[in-house]
């Protein structure tokens, strides 16, 4: 049977794992808020033609994104190392009588680590996608402004068409980004709910009912967005 020292070692590992999991949970919430605020601030500045302030704000948020990404990756690496040590302990001679309970505890911590890792990569991917789309949109807007100032100034009809086209594209992009932001937030919430489910299996039935209703609502919302997009395209080419 495992000695007192071995038992204390296992409890120390569990304590480290729980502490890292709590730190990761707080970091991931802040990380998700940063990505959401990045998209929102872009929306607010979309009509601003000034270059100085947007570049400063974007640069600051990009630095925060990079810093938080490194911090979260380091925490994930530490939690992985603790889980590996816990796995090694389960194979220690003298722990055979406790192995089933130890493996159950280890699996719970592994599931939490997997959820946090998935949530981090998902949020990070959404942020990078938003930034890439915004950079592309900025480039297109500059091209339009260059065209208008070069050959379209004296052509009233062309100018009106470009303005209308720009307006419709902004609506479409805003709708798309809002859907992306909401989807990322929902997945973040679902990930944390799944984490709770791993800790408290009795709420699994409730989560399944919520997931079924969410899929139904997603289908309805997707249909509405698709119809609106088609109507916008029909109006744009009318």
What's the pLDDT score for residue 135? 75
207-223 mean pLDDT: 74
Max CA-CA distance within the chain? 90
Give the Cβ contact number of residue 231 at 10 Å.
10
Cα–Cα dist 222/126, whole Å: 19
26-46 mean pLDDT: 76
Which two three-digit tokens encode residue 127?
Answer: 């942020």
- Identify the H or E element spanning 162: helix 156-199
Judged by DSSP in three states, 238 sits in coil
What are the Cα distances from residue 24, in Å, to 76, 126, 141? 8, 19, 39
Judged by DSSP in three states, 93 sits in coil
- CA nearest neighbour of 32 among 114, 111, 138, 130: 130
Q: Which residue ranges make up each domain of the chain?
A: 7-40+58-150
Q: Name the pTM for this structure.
A: 0.53
Per-residue pLDDT tens over the stretch 161-201: 667 667 777 776 777 676 776 666 767 776 776 666 666 55
CATH code of domain 7-40+58-150: 1.20.58
SS3 content of the chain, % helix, strand, coil (to 5): 90, 0, 10
Question: Is there a contact between 118 and 195 (Cβ–Cβ < 8 Å)?
Answer: no
The residue ranking higher by pLDDT, 111 or 232, is 111
Cα–Cα dist 19/30, whole Å: 17
């Amino acid at each position: 049977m495992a000695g007192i020292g071995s038992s204390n070692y296992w409890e120390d590992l569990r304590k480290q794992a729980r502490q890292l999991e709590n730190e990761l949970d707080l970091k991931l919430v802040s990380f998700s808020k940063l990505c959401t605020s990045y998209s929102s601030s872009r929306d607010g500045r979309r009509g601003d033609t000034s270059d100085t302030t947007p570049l400063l704000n974007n640069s600051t948020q990009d630095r925060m994104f990079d810093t938080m990404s490194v911090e979260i990756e380091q925490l994930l690496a530490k939690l992985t190392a603790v889980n590996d040590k816990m796995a090694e302990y389960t194979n220690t001679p003298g722990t055979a009588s406790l192995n089933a309970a130890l493996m159950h505890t280890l699996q719970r911590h592994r599931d939490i680590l997997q959820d946090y890792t998935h949530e981090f990569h998902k949020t990070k991917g959404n942020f990078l996608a938003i930034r890439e789309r915004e950079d592309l949109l900025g480039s297109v807007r500059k091209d339009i402004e260059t065209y208008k100032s070069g050959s379209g100034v004296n052509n009233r009809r062309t100018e009106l068409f470009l303005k209308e086209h720009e307006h419709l594209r902004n609506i479409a992009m805003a709708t798309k980004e809002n859907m992306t932001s909401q989807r990322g937030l929902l997945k973040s919430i679902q990930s944390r709910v799944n984490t709770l489910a791993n800790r408290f299996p009795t709420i699994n039935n409730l989560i399944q009912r919520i997931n079924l209703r969410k899929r139904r609502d997603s289908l309805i919302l997707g249909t509405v967005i698709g119809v609106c997009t088609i109507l916008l395209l029909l109006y744009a080419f009318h």
